[in-house]
Structure 1
Amino acid sequence: MIFGIPVEILTHENRVGAAPFLVKELTKRGHQVLVESKAGEISHYRNEVYEQAGAAIVPSPDKLYAQAKFILKVREPRPVEYELIRADHTIFAYFHFFNNPDLAHAMMNECCSCFAYEMVTDEEGSRPLLGLDRQIVGQLAVQQGAYYLQTHKGGRGILIGNAPGVSPAKVVIMGASVAGIYAARYAANSGADVYLLDSDSQDLQNAKSMLPPNVDTLISHEQNLKKIFPTTDLLISAVQKEDEIAPVVVSKEAVSWLPEGAVVVDLDIERGGSVETSKPTTHENPTFVVDGIIHYCVPGMAGVVPASASEALSNVLLPYMIKCAENGFAETLKTDGEFLSGLAIYEGRIANEKLARELNLPFYQFKEYSDDTR
């Protein structure tokens, strides 16, 4: 097998598809790994570190895609990369096809195969690769919110932390998701008073058992929002519904209940946003103001901490890639249901039943046609 690790070209996506320790596990099993020059540089993985792990450095994406068959990326291919993709390519990445049907059609047109990290589901029903991303962005939401609460950024001048004799900041988190729980824990451990809201009482009960005592849980309804929003410093919305467009859980009217200079961080922006006043922003222009409320709505936040996030991604990805390296891609799909759950597109055909329904396209059931696999 020949694996390829290209440079991520999405703006501010500084992660790399595989760390050198993962590369070493592939090369010591007899496989070839090509790394585009400087692919891991911003994650502090220099070319020579990859070479020490057994990889070969190639100078351009054209040469990498021309030789490799299994492409290890972080984010989905961009349109300028489509022409590099061949029918015998398998691309590993976060695709989020449910929010981008045009991307699904583009990959089908290239007749390639797509292994979607966000779809991988273990025996307990958890999504380890998706959960990893959410753990990181949950914590980043508190960091970014704390920064924009500073007065020179237009915020309320409130510290997310402890100061003697000073009332703690109030952080409100919508959604007892993985991202919501990690945001709540991070904010609480920083010294804030935290309120975690969700419409599901069982989810709140489960979350409460994992959180510090300075996190209060509340059912999400209008009366509770009216009660706590007027004194909220930082609002983080993290509903994080899987495989669907985010529901709006904070209306425009509810945003108006926040005090001037409060900060809203919408972690659901890649799925359309769960705050009615949200719209996608970029790392170059990350915020905008609506009625005195600062909004931070940047998709792909994990890309700004590439050293930590790249290592964490490879840690979770490692057992899947070892299975693939030892047994082959198609054979692993046949024998490992957890691995198969990540298959979104196979040779240009939709191989995820829910995605097929969403796109109103035929579903290709891989196991039924496994004799056709390459």
Structure 2
Amino acid sequence: MVIGIPKEIKNNESRVGMTPAGVLELVQKGHTVYVQTGAGLGSGFTDGDYKKVGAHILDTIGQVYAISEMIVKVKEPIAEEYGMVQKNQIVFTYFHFASSLQLTEAMMESKAICIAYETVEESDGSLPLLTPMSEVAGRMAIQQGAKYLEKPKKGRGVLLGGVPGVPPGRVLVLGAGVVGIQAAKMAAGLGAHVTILDINMKRLRYVNDVMPPHVVTEFSNEFNIRKHVATHDLIVGGVLVKGGRAPKLITRDMLKLMHPGAVIVDVAVDQGGCVETSHPTTHEDPVFIIDDVVHYCVANMPGAVPYTSTLALTNVTLPYVLELADKGWEAACADNPCLNKGLNIIRGEVVHDGIAEAFGFDEKWVV
């Protein structure tokens, strides 16, 4: 199969769809790989690194799309790429369709085979291709939240770990999934007081077992959210509905309850956000302030640490890329139920119920 690795052109996205090590695996299996010049530079990989393992370098993103049977990338195609996606071309990437009708309609119109990293699902319900980026984003949420709590960044001026004689900052984590666990771990490591909310008691029991005593758990409902937003300095939104839009757990009126200069990091923003006042931002312009509350809503947080993120991503995507390349998408998805769940749009038809529900489409066909 001919596989293309284009350069990511989303704002400040420095990750790349595959490392040279991953390309080597594909080439050794007899596949042809085209990499756009400069695609790996943001992650620390030169064109020469890719050439050494057998990749062919192309000058433009249009050339990569035009020649490839399968496109492997990191983020969803943006408007400039819509017209480059071809009929029957496999596009394997993070799509998060439920947060963008424009993207969904564009990919339907392209008649491509859209397989989303974020909905590939193991039999135990885990999301193997989303997990490493959720781990990165969860840890980064505390890094960024701590920074934007500083007064020069318009924050409240709170040091999360406190100092002797001064209590630590308070962190509220919404969701005890991968993002939430990693955020709580980082915040606890800094010495902050952490409250983590979820509706899944099994997850809360797990958190209670593995976290130190200054991480406390509580069942998530509107009453408890309203209670805690009034007393916490940093709020991390880490909820996930597989393939669908995130629920709005923090409403506009709740901002009035919060301390001036409190910070919200909405990690769920790429799925529509779990805060009513959220909208996607970029690393170039990451925050905005509403009702004196700082909102950090970067939709591609792991893009800020591309070396770590690209290695972590290729570790988990490569086996699926190899399967798709070796067998073709139909046989690969038929043989692998986990990969089959990654199918989102097939030749213009929405085949994932999360997208269908988000936009009122009919789910017409699945493999």
The residue number in structure 1 matching 2:352 is 352
Check 1:251–1:347 CA distance in 2 against 1; reply closer, same or farther (3 A cut). Answer: closer
The residue number in structure 2 matching 1:217 is 217
User: Over aligned residues, Cα RMSD in angstroms?
Assistant: 2.0
Give me the whole-angstrom Cα distance separating, in 2, the residues matched to 1:279 and 1:334: 37
For residue 48 of structure 1, give the secondary structure of its aligned residue in structure 2: helix
Give me the whole-angstrom Cα distance separating, in 1, the residues matched to 2:352 and 2:223: 40
The residue number in structure 1 matching 2:116 is 116
Indicate if the aligned counterparts of 1:250 and 1:274 stay in contact, CA closer than 8 A.
Answer: yes
Alignment of 1:44-193 (within 5 A): 44-161=44-161, 163-193=163-193
The residue number in structure 2 matching 1:363 is 364
The residue number in structure 2 matching 1:341 is 341
The residue number in structure 2 matching 1:369 is none
Indicate if the aligned counterparts of 1:352 and 1:363 stay in contact, CA closer than 8 A.
Answer: no
Deviation at 1:246, TM superposition (A): 2.1
Q: 2:321 matched to 1:304?
A: no
Give me the whole-angstrom Cα distance separating, in 1, the residues matched to 2:199 and 2:284: 34
Check 1:102–1:217 CA distance in 2 against 1; reply closer, same or farther (3 A cut). Answer: same
Amino acid at match of 1:170: R
Q: Mind listing any 5+ residue stretches in structure 1 that lack a counterpart?
A: 367-374
The residue number in structure 1 matching 2:263 is 263
Indicate if the aligned counterparts of 1:92 and 1:114 stay in contact, CA closer than 8 A.
Answer: yes
Q: Mind listing any 5+ residue stretches in structure 2 that lack a counterpart?
A: none
Check 1:254–1:352 CA distance in 2 against 1; reply closer, same or farther (3 A cut). Answer: closer
Deviation at 1:353, TM superposition (A): 4.7
Indicate if the aligned counterparts of 1:5 and 1:73 stay in contact, CA closer than 8 A.
Answer: yes
Indicate if the aligned counterparts of 1:352 and 1:364 stay in contact, CA closer than 8 A.
Answer: no
Check 1:77–1:222 CA distance in 2 against 1; reply closer, same or farther (3 A cut). Answer: closer
Amino acid at match of 1:360: F
Deviation at 1:239, TM superposition (A): 1.9
> Kindly, what percent of the aligned residue pairs are identical?
39
Give me the whole-angstrom Cα distance separating, in 2, the residues matched to 1:343 and 1:290: 37
Count of residues in Structure 1 that have an aligned counterpart in Structure 2: 366
Deviation at 1:325, TM superposition (A): 3.5
Deviation at 1:118, TM superposition (A): 0.9
Give me the whole-angstrom Cα distance separating, in 2, the residues matched to 1:61 and 1:198: 42
Indicate if the aligned counterparts of 1:94 and 1:116 stay in contact, CA closer than 8 A.
Answer: yes
Indicate if the aligned counterparts of 2:244 and 2:355 stay in contact, CA closer than 8 A.
Answer: no
Deviation at 1:267, TM superposition (A): 1.8
Indicate if the aligned counterparts of 1:353 and 1:363 stay in contact, CA closer than 8 A.
Answer: no
Indicate if the aligned counterparts of 1:356 and 1:363 stay in contact, CA closer than 8 A.
Answer: no
Q: 2:48 matched to 1:43?
A: no
Give me the whole-angstrom Cα distance separating, in 2, the residues matched to 1:49 and 1:191: 41
Give me the whole-angstrom Cα distance separating, in 2, the residues matched to 1:180 and 1:324: 32
The residue number in structure 2 matching 1:196 is 196
Give me the whole-angstrom Cα distance separating, in 1, the residues matched to 2:152 and 2:78: 36
Deviation at 1:359, TM superposition (A): 4.2
Check 1:233–1:352 CA distance in 2 against 1; reply closer, same or farther (3 A cut). Answer: closer
Give me the whole-angstrom Cα distance separating, in 2, the residues matched to 1:89 and 1:227: 50
Amino acid at match of 1:121: E
TM normalised by structure 2 equals 0.93
Deviation at 1:153, TM superposition (A): 1.1
Amino acid at match of 1:316: V
For residue 345 of structure 2, give the secondary structure of its aligned residue in structure 1: strand
Deviation at 1:105, TM superposition (A): 2.2
Check 1:271–1:153 CA distance in 2 against 1; reply closer, same or farther (3 A cut). Answer: same
Give me the whole-angstrom Cα distance separating, in 2, the residues matched to 1:251 and 1:175: 16
Deviation at 1:208, TM superposition (A): 2.4
TM normalised by structure 1 equals 0.91
Give me the whole-angstrom Cα distance separating, in 2, the residues matched to 1:2 and 1:63: 13
